[in-house]
Amino acid sequence: MPTKSISNQDILRYVFNQSDLKQNEFSKRCGRKQQNITAYLNKSKPLEPKTLNNCLENFYGWPVIAHRELAPFNGDFSDFPEVPGIYIFYNSEGNVVYFGKATNLRTRAKSSYNSKSPFSIRLGPNLNCKQKCKKGDFVKFVSLYEIKNENIRHNFEAFLLHVFPNQSHNNNSGYFKLSY
| H-only helix segments in the chain | 8-19, 23-30, 34-41, 49-60, 105-114, 150-163
Q: Give the whole-angstrom CA distance, residue 114 versus residue 123.
A: 18
pLDDT at 156 over 90: no
Domains, the chain, in order of start with CATH, read 8-60 (1.10.260), 65-163 (3.40.1440.10)
* Most confident region among 3-7, 26-30, 151-155 by mean pLDDT: 26-30
pLDDT of residue 176: 45
Average predicted confidence (pLDDT) for the chain: 80
Give residue-wise pLDDT tens across range 80-135.
Answer: 999 999 998 988 888 888 889 999 999 999 999 998 876 666 666 666 656 677 77
pLDDT of residue 102: 95
Higher pLDDT residue, 4 or 117?
Answer: 117
pLDDT of residue 35: 94
pLDDT-derived band at 4, boundaries 50, 70, 90: very low
66 CB-near residues (< 8 Å, 6+ apart)? 143, 144, 145, 146
pLDDT at 155 over 90: no
**Which one, of 140, 146, 150, lies nearest residue 180 by Cα?**
150
Pairing of strands 96-102, 85-90: antiparallel
Helix (H) or strand (E) holding 145: strand 141-146
Q: Give the whole-angstrom CA distance, residue 31 versus residue 29.
A: 5
% residues pLDDT > 90 (the chain): 31
pLDDT-derived band at 179, boundaries 50, 70, 90: very low
pLDDT at 45 over 50: yes
**Which one, of 98, 111, 100, 106, lies nearest residue 166 by Cα?**
98
pLDDT of residue 138: 81
- Alpha carbon 149 to chain centroid distance? 6
State the greatest distance between any 2 C-alpha atoms of the chain, in Å, as a whole number: 85
pLDDT of residue 137: 81
**CB 43 within 8 Å of CB 7:** yes
Q: What is the mean predicted confidence (pLDDT) over 66-75?
A: 91
pLDDT of residue 166: 53
Distances (CA, A) of 159 to 59, 74, 173: 21, 27, 11
Q: Is 165 helix (H, G, I), strand (E, B) or coil?
A: coil
